[in-house]
């Protein structure tokens, strides 16, 4: 049987030999202080690299105030760039391709991980429901964030562009803008977290403005053919969610499509919890199907895919490539296992966030992979 999942694909400037993508996965194992990628992190990515396979890194904060949890790696200091360089070299040594996910968490943070213990920033001073991680890995209710002033927005946009340049300096093949899962850019998109009265709030056009401006700035910094963006139109992670996502996301994707970016990465509605909870909604449309007509370039879909559903999605043209999250955590050689249709290791949710090698670099690969 010919496989669509294991056929080559060009995504902007990225040349892939198969379409099994490693999804961005926060693991909270960077070196503290400094939030610097470590040797253990290098080993984790090296294990998961494959010839011609695309890895999207875990979210990397673009600035100190972009951080939401302890021990997440940044991409704003010289030491972090050096740390990431060892990661990109290890992936390239195996013939792999790796892009860095540019992350600003907005209100999904806690003052204990913020510079000078300041309040997190957000479009509006509205606290998210749920619990933050403190610097000591404790869980406490989210604080009410400080609303960004209009005059701070140009610097915020430039911070994204600078972080993208830093990623290229660290040897990444491109960047992915994190516009999903209830973090800063999605907080701007959605009216439940954005009550601004300036040009960045109110109408769909205004709420989309920051995302479009960030995408423009990042793509001019590193090239549109090395810039992707991730969106979760139906997501409910981190107290996000819109009743009727179609008008908002149809407008946004229409605007983004004018920028000729390398790819659009969509999380499927059935995985609205973004891997944070075991949800698999039935009888919901595919995001890739709904928005595909609005997007001419490569489309990556993610969310509860397995070998069979991934193959079907690519065969039917709903997506060009499929990103796998939890299965990649537990299966360092996932592309080989999917190609051979062999058994997969089960993931252990208890070791997703924080800790050391256990549940991180100790999942076994096939003997001959």
Stretch that binds ligand FNR, among 8-16, 74-82, 178-186, 361-369 (CB under 6 A): 178-186
Cα–Cα distance for residue pair 221/203, rounded to 1 Å: 28
Cα–Cα distance for residue pair 38/26, rounded to 1 Å: 14
If the CB atoms of residues 200 and 352 are measured against ligand FNR, the closer one turns out to be: 352
Under rule CB under 6 A, which residues in 83-112 are in contact with ligand FNR? 101
Cα–Cα distance for residue pair 267/231, rounded to 1 Å: 7
Active site annotation includes 200: no
Site string for ligand FNR, 12-31 (x = CB under 6 A): -----------xxxx-----
If the CB atoms of residues 274 and 290 are measured against ligand FNR, the closer one turns out to be: 274
Cα–Cα distance for residue pair 101/104, rounded to 1 Å: 10
If the CB atoms of residues 172 and 352 are measured against ligand FNR, the closer one turns out to be: 352
Cα–Cα distance for residue pair 266/364, rounded to 1 Å: 29
Q: Is 126 in the site for ligand FNR (CB under 6 A)?
A: no
Which of residues 142, 160, 200, 324 is near ligand FNR by CB under 6 A?
Answer: 324
Residue 131: CA count within 13 A, CB half-sphere: 8
Cα–Cα distance for residue pair 120/143, rounded to 1 Å: 8
For residue 104, count other CB atoms closer than 10 A to its CB: 27
Stretch that binds ligand FNR, among 78-86, 188-196, 281-289, 323-331 (CB under 6 A): 323-331
Helix or strand (DSSP H, E) at 88: helix 78-93
Cα–Cα distance for residue pair 272/232, rounded to 1 Å: 8
Which of residues 59, 68, 182, 228 is near ligand FNR by CB under 6 A?
Answer: 59
Q: Is 352 in the site for ligand FNR (CB under 6 A)?
A: yes
Q: Is 332 in the site for ligand FNR (CB under 6 A)?
A: no
Residues serving a catalytic function are: 183
Interacting residue ranges for ligand FNR, rule: CB under 6 A: 23-26, 58-59, 101, 178, 180-181, 230, 267, 271, 274-275, 302-305, 324-327, 352
């Amino acid at each position: 049987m010919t496989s669509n999942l294991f056929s080559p694909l060009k995504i902007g400037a990225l040349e892939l030999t198969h379409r099994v993508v490693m999804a961005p996965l926060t693991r909270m194992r960077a070196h503290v202080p400094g939030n610097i990628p470590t040797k253990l992190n290098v080993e984790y990515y090296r294990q998961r690299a494959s010839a011609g396979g695309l890895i999207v890194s875990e979210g990397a904060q673009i600035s100190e105030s972009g951080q939401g949890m302890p021990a997440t790696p940044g991409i704003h200091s010289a030491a972090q760039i050096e740390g990431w360089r060892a990661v990109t070299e290890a992936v390239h040594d195996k013939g792999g391709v790796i892009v860095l996910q540019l992350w600003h968490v907005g209100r999904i943070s806690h003052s204990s991980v913020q510079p000078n213990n300041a309040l997190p920033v957000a479009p509006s001073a509205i606290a998210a429901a749920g619990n933050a991680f403190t610097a000591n890995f404790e869980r406490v209710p989210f604080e009410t964030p400080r609303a960004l002033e209009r005059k701070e927005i140009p610097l915020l946009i430039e911070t994204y562009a600078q972080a993208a340049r830093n990623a290229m300096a660290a040897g990444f093949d491109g960047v992915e803008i994190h516009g999903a899962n209830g973090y800063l850019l999605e907080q701007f998109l959605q009216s439940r977290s954005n009550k601004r009265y300036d040009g960045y709030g109110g109408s769909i056009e205004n709420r989309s403005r920051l995302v479009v401006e960030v995408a423009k700035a990042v793509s001019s910094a590193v090239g549109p053919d090395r810039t992707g963006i991730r969106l979760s139109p139906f997501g409910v992670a981190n107290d996000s969610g819109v009743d009727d996502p179609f008008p908002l996301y149809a407008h946004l994707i229409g605007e983004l499509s004018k920028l000729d970016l390398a790819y659009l990465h969509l999380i499927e509605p059935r995985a609205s919890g973004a891997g944070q909870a075991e949800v698999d909604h039935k009888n919901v449309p595919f995001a890739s199907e709904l928005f595909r007509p609005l997007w001419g370039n490569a489309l990556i879909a993610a969310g509860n895919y397995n070998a069979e559903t991934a193959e079907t999605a690519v065969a039917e043209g709903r997506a060009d490539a499929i990103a796998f999250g939890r299965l990649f955590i537990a299966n360092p050689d996932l592309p080989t296992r999917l190609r051979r249709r062999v058994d997969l290791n089960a993931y252990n949710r208890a070791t997703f966030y924080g800790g050391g090698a256990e549940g991180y670099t100790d999942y076994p690969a096939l003997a001959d992979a």
